[in-house]
């Protein structure tokens, strides 16, 4: 059983550059369409410093690219070996046509070699604390209908089923978590 006290969320930094690079490589090797969900564009940046610059732009409403909403990304790091086990993001609001319909307030990914150990459930729980600190009262979390692991994670954190919607031929399930 995985010790969830051996794990924390932290802001991405160059301290974790090697882990970010290894995490990115592992996701590409997994060749899974949803591998980069919640990674705040990591797939687009070969060098960690470029990704960190991108994250800084995304978190500040003054430097935010047009059509985007402010967001923060967090690294899920295991204390015992300082290993990056996942990335989760938090969109400050969902006043956006895609986010309000099926994107939701956050997305998350666990490193393929660390999946099935309960990390996603704890990552979501910890990020809900970040939501509370921001004064949010409820959050929309979505998952593909063919992703039972993500659905289980959402339900374990109090997700209340809202509805299913079709997004380009994929059925997406919407859940609200009341904070």
Tokens of residue 152, six digits: 């289980």
40 with 58: CB under 8 angstroms? yes
**Maximal C-alpha separation, the chain:** 44
Tens of pLDDT, residues 72-117? 999 999 999 999 999 999 999 999 888 888 999 999 999 999 999 9
* 33 pLDDT higher than 80: no
- In the prediction, which pLDDT does 5 show? 80
- pLDDT single digits (tens) 5-18: 889 999 999 999 99
Residue pLDDT, tens place only, 150-170? 999 999 999 999 999 999 999
Cα 116 from Cα 13, distance rounded (Å): 26
Residue 129: the pLDDT is 97
Q: Are 159 and 177 in contact (CB under 8 A)?
A: yes
CA distance 179 to 170: 28
């Amino acid at each position: 059983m995985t010790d969830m006290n051996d794990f924390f969320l932290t802001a991405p930094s160059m301290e974790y550059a090697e882990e970010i690079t290894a995490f990115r490589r592992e996701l590409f090797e997994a060749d899974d369409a949803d591998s980069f969900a919640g990674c705040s564009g990591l797939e687009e940046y070969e060098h960690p410093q470029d990704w960190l610059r991108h994250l800084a732009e995304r978190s500040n409403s003054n430097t935010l690219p047009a059509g985007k909403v402010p967001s923060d990304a967090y690294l899920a790091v295991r204390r015992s070996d300082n290993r990056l086990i996942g990335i989760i993001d938090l969109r400050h609001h969902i006043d956006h046509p895609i986010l309000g319909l099926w994107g939701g307030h956050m997305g998350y990914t666990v490193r393929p070699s660390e999946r099935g150990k309960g990390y996603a459930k704890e990552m979501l729980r910890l990020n809900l604390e970040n939501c509370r600190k921001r004064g949010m009262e409820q959050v929309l979390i979505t998952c593909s209908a063919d992703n039972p692991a993500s659905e289980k994670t959402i339900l374990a954190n109090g997700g209340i089923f809202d509805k299913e919607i079709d997004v380009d031929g994929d059925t997406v399930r919407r859940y609200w978590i009341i904070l």
